[in-house]
């Protein structure tokens, strides 16, 4: 891939991974509740999950949506249900800082990676990236790998900013009531991502 095409992939990756969506809302909440370092597996999981999704779409799974639109609608329903459940978990989470009985913990690397397969924004990024930036013929898989690598290189810093922002917010919240409000707002914003899905 030439530098101009790689730069285009980078701009697209930054624009899509750095803007609000389910991943970034959850990372902000996780950063606030658990700190940046405990959120790191969640960050790595998102990065690896998006790259894996790009490769999976390039291998032909994206064509499934074109041939069977019902599958895409089913994915939307499943994703919406899962997103609402995650939103509820965020909104009702107790802060470990004020509640020693809190069983809350950050999302694991594996769970974050698997979430990308029901995250409609991640599907949009993967399908658009593969459709727009891959080359034809013998250079196809070479370009697919470069697209996935660029998403990892650009996506990790962008999503890290959301986790770092959450960590900063967490340091400013000084009462159980403030934590409840924050978690409620983050849960509502995560649920609000359904607007973009539908």
pLDDT digits (tens, 9 = 90+) for 77-113: 877 788 888 888 888 877 655 555 556 789 999 999 9
Q: Which two tokens stand for residue 100?
A: 């020693």
Pairwise CA distance, residues 73 & 197, whole Å: 10
pLDDT digits (tens, 9 = 90+) for 42-84: 999 999 999 999 999 998 876 776 677 787 678 778 777 888 8
Q: Phi, psi at residue 110, to the nearest 5°? A: -65, -45
DSSP 57: I
**Mean pLDDT rounded to a whole number for the chain:** 86
pTM: 0.82
pLDDT of residue 198: 60
pLDDT of residue 132: 87
Interacting residues of 38 by C-beta distance below 8 A, sequence separation 6+: 30, 106
Q: Which residue has the tokens 């959120």?
A: 39
Mean pLDDT of the region 19-30: 91
pLDDT of residue 92: 83
Interacting residues of 55 by C-beta distance below 8 A, sequence separation 6+: 144, 145, 148
């Amino acid at each position: 891939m030439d530098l101009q095409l790689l730069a285009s992939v980078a701009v697209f990756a930054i624009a899509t991974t750095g803007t609000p969506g389910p991943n970034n809302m959850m990372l902000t909440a996780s950063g606030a509740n658990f700190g940046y370092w405990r959120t790191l597996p969640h960050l790595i999981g998102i990065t690896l999950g998006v790259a894996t999704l790009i490769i999976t779409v390039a291998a032909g799974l994206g064509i499934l949506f074109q041939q069977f639109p019902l599958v895409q609608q089913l994915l939307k329903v499943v994703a919406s249900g899962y997103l609402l459940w995650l939103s509820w978990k965020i909104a009702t989470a107790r802060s470990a800082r004020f509640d020693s009985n809190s069983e809350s913990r950050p999302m694991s690397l594996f769970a974050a990676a698997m979430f990308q397969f029901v995250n409609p924004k991640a599907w949009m990024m993967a399908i658009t990236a593969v459709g727009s930036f891959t080359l034809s013929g013998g250079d196809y898989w070479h370009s697919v790998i470069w697209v996935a690598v660029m998403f990892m290189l650009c996506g990790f810093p962008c999503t890290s900013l959301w986790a770092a922002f959450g960590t900063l917010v967490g340091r400013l919240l000084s009462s159980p009531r403030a934590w409840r409000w924050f978690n409620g707002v983050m849960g509502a914003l995560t649920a609000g991502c359904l607007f973009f899905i539908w």
